[in-house]
Amino acid sequence: MGKVAVGAAVVCAAAVCAATALVVRHRMQSSGKWARTVAILKELEGTCGTPIGKLKQIADAMTVEMYAGLASEGGSKLKMIISFVDNLPTGDEKGLFYALDLGGTNFRVLRVLLGGKEGRVVKQESKEVSIPHDLMIGTSQELFDFIATELAEFVATEGEGLHVSSGKQRELGFTFSFPVKQTSITSGNLIKWTKGFSIEDAVEKDVVGELTKAMERMGLDMRVSALVNDTIGTLAGGRYHNQDVIAAVILGTGTNAAYVERANAIPKWQGLLPKSGEMVINMEWGNFRSSHLPLTEYDQALDVESKNPGEQIFEKVISGMYLGEIVRRVLYRMAEEAAFFGDTVPPKLNIPYILRTPDMSAMHHDTSSDLKVVGNKLKDILEITNTSLKMRKVIVEVCDIVATRGARLSAAGIVGILKKLGRDTVRDGETQKSVIALDGGLYEHYKKFSGCMESTLKELLGEDVAENIIVEHSNDGSGIGASLLAASHSQYLEV
């Protein structure tokens, strides 16, 4: 063999060796990166863990905070707000009642014809109105005049059989989903605006007074007979259909709970005890926190960067506003530390709240063999293409860990309420049912979340107790619920 041929053979061999070394190194790097991905996943699973012992500690902590919040103002992270709702619907209510639901950039007006025990909700009609942006940052009078005008126009469309009895005022339930300091069933002062509203001259004013003045200016003879929030409306709607309802929980974009308390078990209550002996408490449970909550570095970073750091910690780990964002933060860390999506971090993955909880839910519920929905969501939302089945499975696993933690913590919160009411045990010969009314998009549409929450409830309570605890979907508390509360607090009720 000539020198040239030998030289060429050596060069070729060297090239093959170099290429082989490159492949081996690439495989080693890939396996190293994959190992890092798996390590991040395992760490997430560990820090999000909700063993039954921990959940029982969280339920106990919720009960303790409830007692503290009822004892004194500011005594607990739970506000335990006295709602002044002391008459929940019984099903006997009759007549025509209105509701106004103001909780965001749209508001709804409803009218509901109630027919008593036999007729129930005979008829309901509603109209949704978008609030122009300039009115969200204008004056109190401008906003409430706009609402009263729309309300008057809606009243003018009352059809046959949809009229109040002669000589009677129309009555309205007002769902106002902004922070208020309630002073009676028909009055409450605005603490602050949220959700893009900024009307300075309305802060600290009585929102019922502002609406009433606007209705008077429009010549509309209508009385607000109940000022409520959506959670209390859900409780009322649930109780109307089932007298065993004792509490309501909202699991949607945000989260809250309300329940029926014995009036003599509220030490901070100053007035005369209501005739019914009961009082609905608005817990504002999103603000619950405990050292037992399984918080991760992702939760801590999300909290620090939020508009309300240190507040609403429970809400930030269980509600629809935040679940998708927690998943995004985990994927971002995988992309940065384990090159999960390739050598560069996909730019869209760096945008907070780009991954919404409905998208997370769609990926979590993907049953296709190649997890096609996961692939499409990554492509459409994050502009990430060419993901392998192995990668998609990791993403579903992340969704599962985050949703499972939220669902199990929600169940622990409900058990905390049941403990406070003494409904977490079975007494001899007692078969009283305890019904929890649930509403909210997260509960209604994220089936793996709601299913996990309900199975955890059974696990925490034990079979004997769980037989008497029922979770029921109670729809449209902010609308129908408000009109029912207008009826149960009507000025025309026979005393």
Residue type present at position 64: V
**What pLDDT sits at residue 117?**
81
Side-chain half-sphere exposure of 244, counting CA atoms within 13 A: 12
- The answer to whether the CB of 77 falls within 8 A of the CB of 60 is no
Active site residue 195: yes
Residue type present at position 489: H
Sheet of 255-262, strands arranged across: 81-82, 278-282, 255-262, 245-251, 434-439, 469-473
What lies within 8 Å, CB to CB, of 137 at 6+ separation is 197, 198, 199
Q: How many residues does the chain have?
A: 495
- The answer to whether the CB of 261 falls within 8 A of the CB of 70 is yes
Tell me which H or E stretch contains 110: strand 106-115
Q: How many angstroms separate the CA atoms of 54 and 281, rounded?
A: 26
- Give which of 68, 85, 87 is closest to 77, Cα–Cα: 68
Strands 121-130, 106-115: pairing is antiparallel
**pTM, 2 dp:** 0.89
Active site residue 134: no
Region at 451 (left for phi over 0; alpha for psi -120 to 50; beta for the rest)? alpha
The token duo for 258 is: 């309300």
Chain centroid to Cα 183, Å, comes to 25
Q: Residue 323 phi/psi, 5° resolution?
A: -60, -45
**What pLDDT sits at residue 19?**
47
**What pLDDT sits at residue 2?**
57
Q: Which residues pair with 48 in a beta bridge?
A: none
Distances (CA, A) of 130 to 175, 351, 363, 484: 16, 28, 32, 24
The token duo for 288 is: 């619950």
- The answer to whether the CB of 35 falls within 8 A of the CB of 232 is no
Q: How many angstroms separate the CA atoms of 305 and 332, rounded?
A: 16
pLDDT digits (tens, 9 = 90+) for 326-384: 999 999 999 999 999 999 999 999 999 999 999 999 999 999 999 999 999 999 999 99
> What is the residue-wise DSSP string for 424-450?
SS--TT----EEEEEESHHHHH-HHHH
**What pLDDT sits at residue 393?**
97
Distances (CA, A) of 236 to 206, 241, 435, 463, 485: 23, 9, 12, 28, 7
**What pLDDT sits at residue 432?**
84
> E-assigned strands of 157-284?
170-176, 180-184, 187-190, 222-228, 245-251, 255-262, 278-282
Q: How many angstroms separate the CA atoms of 242 and 238, rounded?
A: 6
The residues of the chain scoring below 50 in pLDDT are 4, 6, 8-28, 495
By the 10 Å C-beta count (0-12 exposed, 13-18 middle, 19+ buried), 77 is classed as: buried
- The answer to whether the CB of 303 falls within 8 A of the CB of 95 is no
Q: How many angstroms separate the CA atoms of 40 and 353, rounded?
A: 21
**What pLDDT sits at residue 29?**
57
Catalytic residue among 42, 192, 195, 379: 195
**What pLDDT sits at residue 320?**
94
- The answer to whether the CB of 280 falls within 8 A of the CB of 259 is yes
Q: Residue 64 phi/psi, 5° resolution?
A: -60, -45
Catalytic residue among 101, 206, 230, 476: 230
**What pLDDT sits at residue 16?**
46
Q: How many angstroms separate the CA atoms of 70 and 283, rounded?
A: 10
Q: How many angstroms separate the CA atoms of 203 and 214, rounded?
A: 17
By the 10 Å C-beta count (0-12 exposed, 13-18 middle, 19+ buried), 248 is classed as: buried
